[in-house]
Amino acid sequence: MAFEGQELVEQYIESYSNWGRWGEDDSIGTLNLVGPEEILAAVGTVRHGRTVNCTLPLDLKGPQRPQMLRDNPRTIKVATGTDHVSGAQDQLPAGLGPANGFGRSDDITILPNQAGTAWDGLAHIFWRGKMWNGKSAALVSSSGAAANGVEHYAGKMVFRGVLLDLPKALGVESLGEAQAITVEDLERAEEAGGVEVRKGDCIALRTGFMEARRGDWGDYVQGPAPGLSIYTIPWLYEREVAAIAADTWGLEVQPNEIQVFNPIHIVGLVHMGLALGEIFDFDELATVCDELGQYEFLFVSPVLPITGASGSATGSIAIL
C-alpha cells in the first residue's frame, strides 16, 4: 500500500491528529473549539440584520451526475392540490370524515445526504480501518454508524463565519480547474477581506467554481476542480479552525496532489476531526460582503440529526 505522498500523509497524521484530545468518546472533533466565547464573538459580528441563504436548491437540477456517485434529490408527492380540486380529498384520511373544504399536499424526498449543500459527518471517511478518534470503521455498517454519526453535530454549527473570497483576492472570475489553494492564497484572501481566521471559526471558502458552473454543471461533481492544497493542513491546525465549507464538490483540489484520494479528508476529517462542508453557495454572500465591506458574520448551518448518517444536508444562513 505504498504510494507517492504516503510519507507526507503519515507525518501530518503524526503531527496534527486530535485523537483523544477531547476524550475517548468525543464525536464532534473540532466543534469543541467553539465555546460560549466564540459564539458571543460570532453574534457580535451582526450589524445590519441581513440574512443570506448559502444552500443550493434541492431538486433534480442539482449538480450531481445522476446515478453515478449520487443522485440529485427527488421529491415525490403523496398528496396534491390537484387531488384536492378533483375531489379525491373530499373525505379526510383515516376515517376522519368529510373535508368540508380542507385540503392538503404532502411529500417525501429521497435525499442522498450529501447530494447538495451538506456537511460531512465524522463517520464519512475512513483511513486504514479507522475513523475519527480511533474508532473502528466496522462500526459503520448497513444499520448505520454506531459511532461518529452526523447526529452528534445537532445543535452545533453556529460559528463566526469568515468569507475567504479567493477570486476577489486573486483578481479572477473563478479559480481554475485543478488549481490548488495555498496558504499564501488564504492569507491574501484574509487581507482582501480585512479579516483574520481565528480559533473556532468556520471558513467559507469561495473558489468561484460554483458560479462558473451553475445550471450547466457538467463535471462539477467528480471532475477536476479548484480546492485546498494538502499543504494547508498545518495552517488550518495552527489557526484552530473549527470548520471549512467550500463551494466545490470535494473541498480539496482535484485531481489530488498526491497518490491517495482526498488527503485533507484523511488528515483533516479522520484525524483532526475537522468539520468539512461542500457544495455551499457563497455567491450571493460574496456580493453582500463586498457591499457591506464586512467579511465576517454569524454563520448558522445546522445538520439534520439523522441518526447514524454519514452526512447531512443543511439549510445554511449567514447573518450580517
Q: State which of positions 153-182 bind its own copies (CB under 8 A).
A: 154-158
CB nearer to its own copies: give 149 or 190: 149
* Least Cβ distance, residue 187 to its own copies (angstroms): 28
The verdict on 68 binding its own copies (CB under 8 A) reads: yes
- Least Å distance, CB 110 to its own copies, is 6
**282 by DSSP, 3-state: which?**
coil
Element (H, E) at 195: none
Residue 107, C-alpha cell as written in the block = 411529500
Cβ-Cβ contacts under 8 Å for 224 (sequence gap 6 or more) = 177, 178, 254, 255
SS3 of 52, please? strand
Using CB under 8 A as the binding rule, whether residue 19 contacts its own copies is answered as no
**Residues 30, 33, 38, 43: what is their CA dihedral angle, to the nearest 10 degrees?**
20
Judged by CB under 8 A, does residue 202 bind its own copies? no
- Backbone φ, ψ for residue 100 (5° rounding): 55, 30
Q: Is 238 in the site for its own copies (CB under 8 A)?
A: no
Evaluated on CA atoms 292, 294, 298, 303, the torsion sign reads positive
Which residue, 87 or 171, has its beta carbon nearer to its own copies?
87
Q: How far is the CB of 2 from its own copies (least distance, A)?
A: 8
DSSP state of 303: B
In angstroms, give the least distance from the CB of 43 to its own copies: 5
- The reply to whether 124 sits near its own copies by the rule CB under 8 A is yes
Task: Name which of residues 240 to 259 contact its own copies (CB under 8 A).
Answer: 259
CB 253, CB 217: distance < 8 Å = no
73 binds its own copies (CB under 8 A): yes
Q: Which is nearer to its own copies, 234 or 261 (CB)?
A: 261
128 forms part of the interface with its own copies (CB under 8 A): yes
Give the binding range for its own copies (CB under 8 A) out of 62-70, 166-174, 175-183, 211-219: 62-70
Which residue's CB is nearer to its own copies, number 186 or number 276?
276
Instruction: Output the smallest distance, CB 263 to its own copies, in A.
Output: 9
151 binds its own copies, rule: CB under 8 A: yes
Binds its own copies by CB under 8 A, chosen from 11, 15, 20, 57: 57
DSSP label at residue 114: T
Site for its own copies in 266-295 (CB under 8 A): 266
* Whole-number Å distance between alpha carbons of 43 and 37: 10
* 120, 310 contact by CB (below 8 A): yes
User: Rounded to an integer, what distance in angstroms lies between the CA atom of residue 235 and that of residue 241?
Assistant: 9
Residue 209, all three cell numbers: 467554481
- Segment 293 to 312, residues that bind its own copies, using CB under 8 A: 298, 300-312
